[in-house]
Structure 1
Amino acid sequence: MLRQLTALAALLATANAWLPDESPKARMTSRGLELVPAAEQVNATEFEEAAIVNARNGKHRRWTPGRVPLRGVNLGSLFVYEPWLAEPEWKDASRMDCGDSKSEFDCVIRHGQTKANQKFQQHWQDFIPESEFDLMVAAGINTVRIPIGYWMYDAIIEPNSERFPRGGLEHLKRICGYASDRGFYIFLELHGAPGAQKAQEAFTGQYAPTPGFYNDYNYGRATQFLSWLTEVVHRTGEGSDDRMRNVGAIGVVNEPLSWENQVDSLRRKFYPDAYNAIRAKESQLGIPRNDALHVGFMNTLWGSGNPKEFLPSGAFSTIFEDHRYVKFDPSVPKTHDDYIRDACTNDRSSPGEDPTVVTEWSISPPDENTSYWDRSDANKAFFQKWFRAAVIGYERFTLGWTFWTWKYQSDDWRWSYKGALDAGVIPWDLNTVASSGACNGYI
């Protein structure tokens, strides 16, 4: 199996795939992971061929619609460690040895900067090996969303008060190279914002008692980060180092405060500043408009207000993110049938916010351990149907989806795309979902 994966990686690395394409390049068989013969692959359209030629000539199209939706996974806990997702490694004395630390910030304090850097370097190197990108290819994945923290840009870390691991950028480039070599579309997301956009959330990189992001100083640091990241992406997208060539979008902040806690300055101040910082850097670099990055915002359904309200009138290449964890939605009755109905019929886009992508979702139910919702064989058919129904619904109403998450260090496959593949809950061939009948009787 290892030899098969190594050979496959070498073959796929020579490809110049650029767009999400409906014809699989690899598949899982009874003999293991195998390349699909060229004769069985669907030919690209003339439009796509032109885009691929442009990519080979260094004229990259960072957003060109393929014939299938974005179908992807998040690389959760890779660059922003969430202990619940990878608790065995987090607590293992021979690995991260973070004990009861609640976030990256706390673990760095526990070890001191030098030792913490070494621990996190090893994590970044090992957590998602290159061979797993071949599994994603075999499973029909064409997109990866990568959460990152502002501390990847060392220059904006407060040296006397902020403790984060250093040296992640080269690993981010390496991971983007693996994804680009396989033709994946790459969505980078500012998951951890300066000061923390939410309190007591490890996904911000720090378990802050209050959200400290919503002020001019931290907005400024975040826009500095986005400008820097834009330059890194474009400069590592061509020439001798083109590992980030398939990065097509940057999300300006993950899951800001919403609904009754929403902060008006987020839309009035930060969103336009973030958008302008990315476009100003692209203008400075001489990036043509058709090679511009998409700039991502949480959509209106998230509850932080209309993200377009204060953007410049000529704003272009924007993309909007919805996160759909049904377990937290009190409006959906907690029954199997109602979860399927919601998946099939709930339009997760907002008027005027096109394209929308459901960039986080899972098949984790409201009561994970009760007999009605647990992972027993009696419920397996429900989870299979729920996944298929969700895919049908998201692809019906939006540009596509990225599941949260690829890897969960637990046997609970309801949060793990890889685990659900192994359990037979998620199909290896996503093209079978449309004809699965999961939404029959609902739409």
Structure 2
Amino acid sequence: MAVLSRSEPSFSVDVFQNEYLAEGAREVNAIVTVTTTGGGTTGGRPVSRDADGGAGGAAGAQAAVVIMVDCSGSMDYPAEKLRNARAATAVAVDTIRDGVAFAVVAGTHEATEVYPGGGKLAVAGDATRAQAKEALRKLSASGGTAIGTWLLKARQLFASRPESTIRHGILLTDGRNEHEKPGGLDAALESAAGYFTVDCRGVGTDWEVAELRRISSALLGTVDIVAEPSGLAEDFRQMMETAMGKQVADVSLRVWTPANAVVRYVKQVSPSLEDLTDHRTEAGPRAGDYPTGSWGDESRDYHVCVEVPSAEVGNEMLAARISLVLPRPDGSTEVLSQGLVRAVWTDDLASTTRISPQVAHYTGQAELASSIQEGLEAHRAGDLDRATAKLGAAVRIAHRTGNDSTYKLLQKVVDVVDPKEGTVRFRKNVSEADSMTLETRSTKTVRVKK
């Protein structure tokens, strides 16, 4: 591990791998753990005041939040959806830290500024929070759903405050993106990617998991289900507290490889699975940057797979150099921390057949997620045999790896006969909410047990 000096928060990189390869082997796998300390908040609203008593502080001035609330006609069926969405948004507004810029957008087949209006962001303080909550009383349900339009409106609002470097959106919907021109959402995601992050929430069961996952993946956020509208307030509070804990934005994982070596993939594997491979941007000779979004006090794991030239026994090489980098206003890049991935060729069978516990664990977590998603898809298609086999495999992996939360979600969909063997039977009358919750949370992982 190497930690380079910098002001708080501090970043560290740890690399876990089995560097030993058999003669002729070419694939090198490593788990890269990135940890930040000293930069986050743990909830509440830390308040700083400038000389004239106004809200101040660098952290507040650098952050901006836009809350996008679905106000389409379906939010009135039942009426408690919009009522709870209104209350949840008020809770989120109350959680915004003093000095943070914010706005609320009502989303239908168009995007309407609810507060503050005028294409601007308000600065959080006691008065603006009260005004925003008063404005929420005007929210009513009508029209359709065009999520790309909401995202473009959020981007315009963020652009009105260019000094904000940490830009975060919260998007709530209860339905599908059915009222948008073809390609509208694609264009919006392309415009927003790399500019702001978005946490997506689906309320009820009439929305599509794949659609919201696609948005959250493109914008480096999270996706989850709130099956009952009454759960929205607590979920919004937790999301906003997490957002308020972010202190550093636009951090990238830079992977440098030597000549004739190729990066096969880079994936976030904890706290959830996210394939970053296609997000790569070139960063000089044989180097590429993979965005990781904004950071507070937290730790995440990444799986880096590199293909190197084959070599004979006794050779060794640097397979990759992993750097955590942050762009600076002057166009330079600051290296926050670094780690090295090695390859050593040996004829020692014990060394070459030993799988890194971290690599093996997260390979299993990826298999768990794909087994759940394929099993549920097969069930929807009426292929009960394949569905049972896939969810049985998921039960076996969840049990073996100690992923208790996913195991409990699986038990709501299948009756577990033998968890070690993965013997299961589909339960009768499985609720749509339980099925969607399992699918939505299938990508949440657990870390390697010490």
TM-score (norm 1): 0.26
Of Structure 1 and Structure 2, which has the larger fraction of its residues in strand? 2
- Higher relative contact order (CA closer than 8 Å, sequence separation 6+): 2
Of Structure 1 and Structure 2, which has the larger fraction of its residues in helix? 1
Choose 1 or 2 for highest CA Rg.
Answer: 2
